[in-house]
Every structure is written in C-alpha cells, then in structure tokens.
Copies of this chain bind each other. A is one copy, B any other.
Amino acid sequence: MQSFKAGELVVEAGSPVLLQGATSPYIFTVLKGWAQRNISLEDGRRQVVNFVFPGDFIGLQSAILGEMGHSVEAVTEMTLCVFTKDRFWDLFKNSPERAYDLTWIASREERMLGDTLATVGRKTAQERVAYALSSIYRRSKAQNLLIDGAAPMPWKQQDLADALGLSLVHTNKTLRRLREQQLAEWRGDELRVHDLGKLSDVGHYDLSATLTRPLI
C-alpha cells in the first residue's frame, strides 16, 4: 500500500474532509482522530450515517462511484494518509489482494449500514442508544483505543441524536436513563461501560457483526 501513498494530511476539528456530491482526487485512511459521515437534506435536517475511527477508509464512494453520497466531517483534529485516485485502477490490475481488501471494506460498510438501518427503523430510543454506545465501545476496543477502560467519545449528543434519528432532548434523557441503570456512562469525552454484554443485549446488538478480515 505504501507505493500508493501520496502524503499525509492534518485537518482541524470541525472541518470537512469530503463533501457530499463532490468528487475528490484523493482518498484517505485515518491515522489519528475521529470523524463522522453525514447526509444533509436541503432543509438542514441531518443524518449521521456512521462514525469514523482510526484505521477507517474514507472516500471509497468518490473513487468508485465518482461522487460522494455523504460528507465526512472531522470531529477532532485528524491525521490522514492520502492516496490519489488516479492510480486506483492500477491497484485492481496489479494488486488483486488489495483490490479484494477494498471490496471487503465496502461490504463491511454495507453490513454496518444495514444494521444501523434496522436500529433506526425498528428499535426504541433506549435500544437505539444502547446499540450505538455498544457499537462505539466495541469498535474502540477492537482498535486498541481504550484508555483506562474507557472509550474516547469526541462526539456531541447532537451527533448521536442525528445518528439515531432522535431529537437531541430525547437522546439526552435516554442517556440519563442508561446512566441510572448503570449500563453506560458518557461523561465529557469518555465512555465507560460496566457490563458490555448487558448493554449489547439492551441494544439488540448482533454479535456476528464483529468482523475480521478473512484469509483468502
């Protein structure tokens, strides 16, 4: 992958990395920092489609489809590994393993989106928040990001609300309930989970969603 690397990029918190509807000559891998993918309607309503962690890939849609269906916004300062899109096709021709990896990434993203859709479409507020926190905690853990047992939680409550199709107020009240039930505690920018199994149960988190790249 090194030969495709075009450089590194640092973006500050709050700034957009890729814009919905735009085409970018670059694609990225997150080396440090957190972001979110979101879709905006013309009238300002916003859906957070996914949270972005270190190690995640950004811009596949732009590279493959030619246009982004969502924006990517940095939530903290980020360090990105930059690749140029124009050498993308070479990758398929000369490096089938990497090409397979890309398809794997796209498929996993599709899988995550499906699970999120089921969550937003069919679960109660309490189940949705439990699902999201459980998912964030698991992903942080999988990337070795836990600090003293807590997951970094740089997002705002508004972001979580927009990810779950809930209002800010109700998200806040639901977080309180989960706190009172000792299921999850989100204070400042860290998330503590005492009983991950219980939290996942409440959120109907599907354990088979934890995917590891299979050997070919």
Contact = CB atoms under 8 A, between A and B. Distances in A.
Contacts of A93: 96
A71 to B, nearest CB: 11
Contacts of A102: 103
Copies in the complex: 2
A113 interface: yes
A129 to B, nearest CB: 14
A55 interface: no
Contact of A41 (B46, B89, B122, B162): B122
A111 B47 contact: no
Contacts of A30: none
A109 interface: yes
A69 B109 CA distance: 11
A1 interface: no
Nearest to A68: B111
Contact of A118 (B41, B114, B208, B209): B41
14 contacts: A21-B208, A37-B114, A41-B122, A46-B122, A47-B117, A61-B107, A64-B100, A65-B104, A65-B108, A66-B214, A67-B208, A92-B99, A106-B106, A113-B113
Interface of A: 21, 37, 39, 41-42, 45-47, 49, 60-61, 64-67, 69-70, 89, 92-93, 96-97, 99-100, 102-104, 106-111, 113-118, 120-123, 162-165, 204, 206, 208-209, 211, 214, 216
Given A60-B107, A113-B113, A113-B114, 5 more contacts: A41-B122, A65-B111, A89-B216, A117-B120, A122-B165
